[in-house]
Structure 1
Amino acid sequence: MKTFLTTTALAMTLATAAAAEGELKIYHWFEYIPQELLDKFAAEYDVTVTMDTYDSNEALLAALKAGKLGEYDVAVPGDYMVKIMADEGMLDTFTPDELPNFGNIQDQWVDVEFDNGRHSTIPYQWGSTSFSVNTEMYDGPMDSLSLIFDAPDELKGKINVLDTAGETLTLASLYAGIPQCTSDREQLKALNALVQGAKPDWASFGSDVAKDVLVSGDAAAGMIWSGFSAKARAEGAPVQYVFPKEGMIVWMDNVALLKDAPNRDNALKFMNFLLEPENAAAVTNYAQYTAGVDGVAEFLDPEVANSPEANPPADVKGVFVQSCPEEVQVLYDAIWTNLKK
């Protein structure tokens, strides 16, 4: 998916182009930032903003490897993808004093494994990945990943699966009780057998449509990000977001300063802008995830703050998707490639 977003109405853009202090080029997930917030940044800093979008961490990585590194100033990778991009030499670094709002980052999101001390990224939003079920199409137990990987008759042929290897195979691993990044051949064979056996019960692979197929009723159940499920409910879908007994994925998306950013100063201004509590809350109210910034609560819409998707039970295990060693990752890539045939 690719979109071009102007920062203001065309007439204003034409009128102010000559006076603009530069550009900002963003590579971002789809449907994940309100246009009004981009307009606000553009107006405050007199910067022209353009944005292209992607639908998975893997698509982001592939595009940058294919030559787009150097075209964009910032991107928004998930936690495990930050580590991969850093190892690939795709990230620039900054110092905290280059971001006056650095101190607004919540303590638990500063010393993170994938960017310890925050030298290349800032927290954007965090949430979970599980699945939602249409309660008008299925009224049985909803507490297990078996609904996706060993589907009951009511759901067979009506399931959408996220088109992202990291999350789909991690949820499968949780269901099977297989460690992430295992190199054990028997465990990998079992993981492959599980997803291949479940595949006939799946109707589609789709990330950008994960919400829409639940809203339209084209899917009775589907893997989904927590905020997308909340949006589906808000749009009238009779869905319940499931917190599986086997566990769910917890993730943190991050705004990353890219290597060879053509507009590095504006990228840092934008990152600092997103660390303002009111601006971070604007993203949360739009996307319905959770910000990693102090002071956001007073700006949140009540229905967002109280969303069931954003308030999981305390006894549900959450795991981050791990970044596997290269020699192990190729094995998982093979499982995914065969699954998508």
Structure 2
Amino acid sequence: MKKTLTALTLVLAGPAFAEGELNLYNWGNYTSPEMITKFEEETGIKVTVTDYDSNDTAMAKIKAGGHGFDIVVPSGTYVPIFIQEGLLMESNPNQMENFKHMDPQWVDVEFDPGRKYSVPWQWGTVGVTVNTSVYGGDINTAAMVFDPPEELKGKINVVPEMNDVMGMAIHFAGGEQCTEDRDTLMKVRDILAKAKTNWLSMDYGNIEKFAANDLSAGINWNGASMRARDKNPDIAFGYPQEGYPVWMDNAAILADATNVEEAKTFLNFIMDPENAAMLSSFARYANGIKGSEEFMPDDMKTAPEIVVPEELKGAAYIAKTCSPAAIKLYTALWTELLK
């Protein structure tokens, strides 16, 4: 199925006491319609949600100007870049009423210390999704994608997010996150070039394809993998023992936002535990807001995509922003991979 970017406009008649509009630029299939409806009904602010498929896509469109968006949802690895480029407003979410609900571990984060620019949207892990009716061996390895068994070849999808794929490939090659070591990166290049011959696609939209058995393996996000398992019980999520990233996506107001007060209202709204739970219930990721768990489905409390096996917790690493030199090297390899 050809990947398309769509704009979803959710319009409901708001209360007579309020008016306004808000333009949200977010990852596709990642925004709870139920939460948007509740926000519109409670505030009278009409929300338009426009989708993107990668951090790079979002940044390129915003840097080009004339986009008309108020809020964007970049990953933590991209927040410092957005800030350095002057693309985000210092909106001080840390002074908003609902900031008290934020889990302390997500306050003084490296990408936005003290939360002057952003609030948590959702967080999760990057691993491998595998159809266990096709492959019955150990799936807790990135070999499912980078050196796949015969039964998986030709039915593999890799999400088109450079940092996620490069990070996993570097660890598979025996390196560390953000390495600039040329020998390691040449090994990564060779691994990716050989692996790509066994891939079917590099596509963001994969939930329905896994559910329909059109895909058998791939690099994927844990929530997307759970949503596929909800539709197909043969789908399982593996945590690569070689190393896998923990990430957080964050909502932030753009420096050239038109609807600033509406955007601030929205940031405060999604820090409310019940509203944060709506995001998690829809996309199947954790959210970084204390007290939201009591409003979420019971199956998320025990889901294998959410609860990391004890023996594999040590393989996790927090995704961070690499140096400009490292990013330049990774971009060159990524560009070569996409040819």
Q: Scaled by the length of structure 1, what TM-score is found?
A: 0.93
How far is the alpha carbon of 1:331 from its aligned partner?
A: 1.5
1:306 corresponds in structure 2 to 302
Check if 1:49 corresponds to 2:36. no
Contact 2:145 2:156 in 1 (8 A): yes
1:187 corresponds in structure 2 to 184
Question: One-letter code of the match for 2:75?
Answer: G
2:262 corresponds in structure 1 to 266
Separation (CA, whole Å) in 2 of partners of 1:72 and 1:99:
21
Separation (CA, whole Å) in 2 of partners of 1:242 and 1:175:
14
1:110 corresponds in structure 2 to 107
| SS of residue in 1 equivalent to 2:175 | coil
Identity of matched residues, %: 37
Question: One-letter code of the match for 1:298?
Answer: E
| SS of residue in 1 equivalent to 2:154 | coil
Question: One-letter code of the match for 1:84?
Answer: I
Gapped regions of structure 2 (runs ≥ 5):
none
2:9 corresponds in structure 1 to 5
| SS of residue in 2 equivalent to 1:50 | strand
1:35 corresponds in structure 2 to 33
Separation (CA, whole Å) in 2 of partners of 1:319 and 1:58:
22
Check if 1:255 corresponds to 2:251. yes
Separation (CA, whole Å) in 2 of partners of 1:325 and 1:297:
36
1:232 corresponds in structure 2 to 228
| SS of residue in 2 equivalent to 1:25 | strand
1:164 corresponds in structure 2 to 161
1:338 corresponds in structure 2 to 336
Separation (CA, whole Å) in 1 of partners of 2:263 and 2:195:
43
How far is the alpha carbon of 1:40 from its aligned partner?
A: 1.0
User: Residues 39-188 of structure 1: matches in 2 within 5 Å?
Assistant: 39-68=37-66, 71-96=68-93, 98-188=95-185
Separation (CA, whole Å) in 2 of partners of 1:95 and 1:6:
27
1:292 corresponds in structure 2 to 288
| SS of residue in 1 equivalent to 2:151 | coil
The number of residue pairs the alignment matches comes to: 333
How far is the alpha carbon of 1:135 from its aligned partner?
A: 0.8
Question: One-letter code of the match for 1:55?
Answer: D
How far is the alpha carbon of 1:95 from its aligned partner?
A: 3.0
Q: 1:111 to 1:98 in 2, by over 3 A?
A: closer
Separation (CA, whole Å) in 2 of partners of 1:263 and 1:310:
35
How far is the alpha carbon of 1:315 from its aligned partner?
A: 3.2
Separation (CA, whole Å) in 1 of partners of 2:66 and 2:248:
23
| SS of residue in 2 equivalent to 1:282 | helix
Once the two structures are superposed, residues 145-184 of structure 1 have per-residue CA deviations (whole angstroms, 9 ceiling, x without a partner) of 1111111111111110111111111111111111222222
How far is the alpha carbon of 1:68 from its aligned partner?
A: 4.6
Contact 1:178 1:191 in 2 (8 A): no
| SS of residue in 2 equivalent to 1:214 | helix
How far is the alpha carbon of 1:47 from its aligned partner?
A: 0.9
Gapped regions of structure 1 (runs ≥ 5):
none
Contact 2:170 2:184 in 1 (8 A): no
CA RMSD of aligned residues (A): 1.6
Question: One-letter code of the match for 2:138?
Answer: P
Question: One-letter code of the match for 2:105?
Answer: Q
| SS of residue in 2 equivalent to 1:91 | coil
Separation (CA, whole Å) in 1 of partners of 2:115 and 2:94:
12
Question: One-letter code of the match for 1:219?
Answer: L
Q: 1:154 to 1:97 in 2, by over 3 A?
A: closer
Separation (CA, whole Å) in 1 of partners of 2:8 and 2:53:
15
How far is the alpha carbon of 1:106 from its aligned partner?
A: 0.5
